[in-house]
Amino acid sequence: MNDSECSLIRIQQLSGVMTLIALLSMAGTQAKASDELIQVLQERSCRGCRLADADLVHADLRDADLSDAKLMRANLGQAQLDGADLSGADLSFTSLRGASLRGANLTGTLLYGTDLRDADLTGAQLNPNALDEAHWQGASGISAGIRSHAALHNAGVEAFQAGRWSAAEQLFSDAISRQPGQPLSWVARGICRGEQAKDDVAAADFRYAAVIYEKEGQATWAMQLRKAAESIQGRRLKEQSPNEGNGLGIQLLSNTIAGLRMLAPIAAKALIPMGLGF
């Protein structure tokens, strides 16, 4: 056997050893995660546990201590978490849809992309702006102080994407009340109103956004918004208003109306969640 053949055999042996080590390590990690999952369910206490991707649907975790736990992508849908301590936990992309979190401690909790839709957050402790990057459509018990401009705008985007124009309009209105100087919320509300054939107020929203952009030195966008407002009102005079759900927003995004085509980039930006990166 020559030197090259011996080297190849040694490489293959080494590769096999490394694969075995990786498999044993994976098995050990899975066993540890399984033990921690049992601990959570039996003792309701597992501070700093690593429970990423865990299936805890409908789990009864009332008053559980899960502070600093790693629960990324875990499924806690419909779970009972009343009074639970989730402070400092990582709940990135975790599903808490329909979960009960009454009185839970969520201070310092990472809620990036977390699904809190239809959850009960009555009395829950949350940091200001904690919901900016979470999905909380239909959640109850959220105090007004927690609902920041970004959180309200993002909830409006979700409602818009679901075709719930009226709900989206209200959420964008609430976002505007929080920060009236944010032009994208005015644009987004104008699109929602256009979807409901509320052409006059839609045009007014675009004009107000144009004023804000002009003050910010964004003359091009201001001009585009004013032209869009003129096109909307011109359409109202020339033809019957579109049915709800087939109105201005669809026309803007598909670029089917030449007069509004230039507004599409602004509309697209207005209807992307703030801070989520997608």
Distance, CA of 252 to CA of 242 (rounded, Å): 13
Amino acid 253: pLDDT: 42
Domain topology for 1-127: Pectate Lyase C-like (2.160.20)
Please name the residue that has the structure tokens 């075995």. 20
- The pair of structure tokens assigned to 259 is 């007069």
State phi, psi for 23 to the nearest 5 degrees.
-65, -40
Tell me how far the alpha carbon of residue 49 is from its chain's centroid. 25
Given the candidates 1.10.1060.10, 1.25.40.10, 3.30.70.260, 3.40.50.150, the CATH classification of the domain at 151-270 is: 1.25.40.10
Q: What CA–CA distance (Å, rounded) separates 25 from 49?
A: 18
Looking at residue 11, its pLDDT comes to: 46
Contact 158, 176 (CB under 8 A): no
Collapsed DSSP state (helix, strand, coil) of residue 163? coil
Q: Which amino acid is at 163?
A: G
CATH 1.25.40.10 segments of the chain = 151-270
Taking only the tens of pLDDT, the chain with its 278 residues reads: 555 555 544 544 444 444 434 433 444 444 445 666 676 667 788 899 898 999 999 999 999 999 999 999 999 999 999 999 999 999 999 999 999 999 999 999 999 999 999 999 999 999 988 898 898 888 999 887 788 898 899 889 988 988 899 999 999 999 999 999 999 999 999 999 988 889 899 999 999 999 999 999 999 989 989 988 888 876 655 555 445 555 555 444 443 344 445 566 777 777 777 754 33
Cross-strand bridge partners of residue 140? 120
Residues 147-178: b if buried by 16+ CB within 10 A, e if exposed: bbbbbbbbbbbbbbeeebbebbbbbbbbbbeb
Q: Can you give 143-207 as a three-state secondary structure string?
A: CHHHCCHHHHHHHHHHHHHCCCHHHHHHHHHHHHHHCCCCHHHHHHHHHHHHHCCCHHHHHHHHH
State residue 263's pLDDT score: 63
User: Can you tell me the distance from the alpha carbon of 114 to that of 161, in angstroms, rounded to the nearest whole number?
Assistant: 18
Residues of the chain with CATH 2.160.20.80: 1-127
Q: What is the pLDDT of residue 235?
A: 63
